[in-house]
């Protein structure tokens, strides 16, 4: 949450650790029957995530936050996650089904509502982490790989906006700090004469 141009910006998202194909949802939020091996896999992931995280209670929580007095929904396109170049294409989008992007009036009530939404989202995430079971080595490896791709997508999506607000140098620094280390995303640029990430060690871990 933050303040800009006389209003409050509230952005909350629980990004899935694996590509569950949420961008395939139709206008009504429903998904077409899977037609490929990839789509069947993504449907299975969505079902697992809905059971563990994105259940009815979570959807009601999101609806309540979005119903905050004076709130306006903000249209923000989801950043495409860049897939490994050797496989081609993209690796889905970075956002999850509970994503919230709101513009609130600059009032004490709205500021309190935004703070409460951020606190409740953090508590929800901590609850999930306390209840989480152990993942397999392969699942952990896949999640780590995608984490770095998502960080890179977030950085690309935020860099221009933050540079416009705070200037080229500071905007890039804030975008980099928000996105986190790229680590192995640098392997996409090996042999192309491009850097690994934000410093000389990125992509070499």
DSSP 72-91: EE---PPPEEEPPTTT-SEE
**The token pair that represents 31 in the structure block:** 């998904």
pTM equals 0.75
pLDDT digits (tens, 9 = 90+) for 61-114: 999 999 999 999 987 665 566 555 444 445 677 788 999 999 999 999 999 999
* Longest distance between any two alpha carbons in the chain, whole Å: 53
Closest CA to 24 of 40, 48, 12, 11: 40
**pLDDT tier at 148 (50, 70, 90 boundaries)?**
confident
**The token pair that represents 49 in the structure block:** 């995530």
Cα–Cα distance list, 59 to 18, 32, 121, 157 (Å): 20, 20, 12, 26
pLDDT digits (tens, 9 = 90+) for 149-196: 888 877 887 888 888 888 888 988 888 888 777 665 554 443 333 343
Q: Rounded to an integer, what distance in angstroms lies between the CA atom of residue 197 and that of residue 110? A: 38
């Amino acid at each position: 949450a933050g303040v800009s141009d006389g209003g409050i910006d509230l952005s909350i998202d629980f990004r899935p650790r694996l590509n569950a194909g949420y961008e395939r949802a139709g206008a009504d939020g429903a998904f077409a029957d899977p037609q490929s091996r990839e789509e069947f896999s993504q449907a299975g992931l969505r079902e697992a995530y809905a059971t563990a995280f994105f259940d009815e209670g979570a959807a009601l929580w999101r609806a309540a936050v979005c119903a905050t007095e004076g709130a306006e929904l903000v249209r923000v396109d989801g950043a495409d996650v860049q897939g490994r170049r050797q496989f081609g294409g993209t690796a889905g989008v970075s956002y999850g089904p509970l994503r919230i992007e709101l513009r609130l009036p600059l009032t004490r009530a709205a500021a309190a509502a935004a703070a409460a939404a951020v606190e409740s989202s953090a508590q929800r995430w901590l609850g999930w982490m306390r209840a989480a079971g152990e993942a397999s080595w392969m699942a952990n490896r896949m999640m780590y790989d995608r984490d770095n791709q998502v960080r890179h997508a977030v950085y690309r999506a935020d860099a221009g906006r933050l540079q416009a607000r705070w200037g080229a140098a500071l905007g890039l620094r804030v975008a980099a700090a928000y996105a986190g280390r790229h680590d192995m995303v640098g392997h996409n640029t090996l042999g192309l004469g491009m850097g690994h990430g934000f410093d000389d060690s990125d992509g070499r871990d």
